Chains A and B, each alone.
Chain A
Amino acid sequence: MTELLARLGQSGIIFLRHLGRATTLLLHILSSVGEVLRRPRLLLEQLFSVGVLTILIIGVSGLFVGMVLSLQGYYILSQFAAEATLGVMVAASLVRELGPVVTALLFAGRAGSALTAEIGLMKATEQLSGLEMMAVDPVRRVLTPRFVAGLISMPLLAALFSALGVAGGWFVGVGLLGVDDGAWWGQMQARIDWNEDLLNGVIKSLVFGFACVWIAVFQGYNCLPTSAGVSRATTRTVVHSSLAVLALDFALTALMFN
């Protein structure tokens, strides 16, 4: 029993120590954001590798998720003769929940893990040490541009996901199942609220993006500088990001929609 308590306490201490380190790193990153914005070339490169290269998987997933939503929704709504509201249902679920959440999960798997692996390998091959000895702050030069790029990409990717999801849903609902085109768009326009739905979705994706890149960058910077260390850090990035996104989603939803 005491042993259990001791072990619990120990993992608590380790957790707090990591949280402290991650927070220090975050402050360091935030303090150099201004400088990165003044050197757009660094940021553009990272926007490409973090954001643009993630577009394909996000787009394809959005399309399919929208199509499935439409199929499932039609099956249920048609039992109440409410097919006309299918567009609202698809759009609301995408914009409020699925867009931000699924995008964040995919983002953690595609971009987050790549960020961790890249930074971890730079550490393992002494590139970060080398930067330090050249009087270049590795946090500023390597971490901050990636962090900012992730922060900017995430809401845009989520918007893309939702937009393509609606398109996929329309294709299935209107194109294949015969829902009225006017009803699909009309109901959607009337019922989807700017603040309630769209803005809240954007806030969610910003928060998720922040959590995902923070975790990814920290895991890379803090990993053991060996191949095993990098691989463990990459796994941790995906696991921790996914859990963080789901937990944050619950908290934010409770705050926003009750």
Chain B
Amino acid sequence: MSLTVGTQGGGAPDAAAPGSVPLPGDQPPLVRIRNLHFSRGEREIFSGLDIDIPRGGITAIMGPSGTGKTTLLKLIGGQLRPDRGTVEVDGLNVHALSRQELYRLRMRMGMLFQSGALLTDLSVFENVAFPLREHTALPEPLLRKLVLLKLEAVGLRGARDLMPSELSGGMARRVALARAIALDPMMIMYDEPFTGQDPISLGVLVKLIRQLNDAARLTSILVSHDVEETNAIADLVYVISNGKVVESGAPAKLAASGSEWTRQFMQGLPDGPVPFHYPAQPLEQDLFGEKS
């Protein structure tokens, strides 16, 4: 694995020759999801989802809260097993891999958890150093430089000695981002990176995600509800709801979409085909009717 400071990505083995900008369509997608079915108990979360994530771009997955965006990332990362259908990452069927092969694949994926998921008994510095210590045998001075550079990228070099409990939610998420890029992965999955960021760090973060993607030639999957920020940086947007892809395309195309559903979601209108409520019986019946 390449561990050059900063920009050079791990890169997919079969990626295009260096220098050429990879365009969607001229090579197989990095992630290919076909006919994905997944349920939690009785509740069906995905019923026949098809998604292609092209290499080298930022693909956004949008959808109302609770549609299973986090679940989708966990399926891609091999933490959950689908009931039916396949998830392929870089040509490998994630759920047919042996444990060892899966771990090798995960070394090339970074994931930014919605909650940050920092190790609470390690300092900020040690959290970012963690994947490097586990997977490489870098000498301490080099490791230190590398960690400080990653922290510098998210603007938290000065916070290196703090413990995770001393960070705000937004700071924790930025540390987690520094940790996710520590091994220079080929792909990063961002679960709601924008929530809890003030306008300044939000702007920096949007730029950072774009920069990481272009400079390191990563593939980024971005899960978010923030329509405006997401449209600003995404190359491709998938909108999912009720277990299926509702619409996909470039942000500009979706903004001009004829679909009432997409328009409602993109413009944040309360009324329309997207229900705001979790499925339930009518309110009057719940309040005044007999217990069902």
- Residues of chain A having any CB pair with chain B under 8 Å: 122, 125-127, 129-137, 141
Contact = CB atoms under 8 A, between A and B. Distances in A.
A53 B176 CA distance: 31
A156 B245 CA distance: 60
Given A122-B120, A130-B117, A134-B130, 5 more contacts: A127-B119, A132-B79, A133-B109, A133-B113, A136-B134
Interface of B: 74, 77, 79, 103-104, 106-107, 109-111, 113, 115, 117-120, 130-131, 134-135, 176, 179, 183
Main secondary structure on B side of the interface with A: mixed
Contact of A134 (B74, B115, B134): B134
B119 A133 contact: no
22 contacts: A126-B113, A126-B115, A126-B117, A127-B118, A127-B119, A130-B117, A130-B118, A133-B77, A133-B106, A133-B109, A133-B110, A133-B111, A134-B106, A134-B130, A134-B134, A135-B103, A135-B104, A135-B106, A135-B107, A135-B134, A135-B135, A137-B103
A178 B77 CA distance: 71
Contacts of B176: 130
Contacts of A125: 115, 117, 120
A60 B232 CA distance: 65
Contacts of B183: 134
B287 to A, nearest CB: 28
A173 B139 CA distance: 60
Nearest to A134: B131
Nearest to B117: A130
Contacts of A126: 113, 115, 117
Contact of B79 (A122, A133, A137, A141): A133
Given A135-B103, A135-B107, A137-B103, A129 B117 contact: yes
Contacts of B74: 129
B131 A127 contact: no
B79 A130 contact: no
Contacts of B77: 132-133
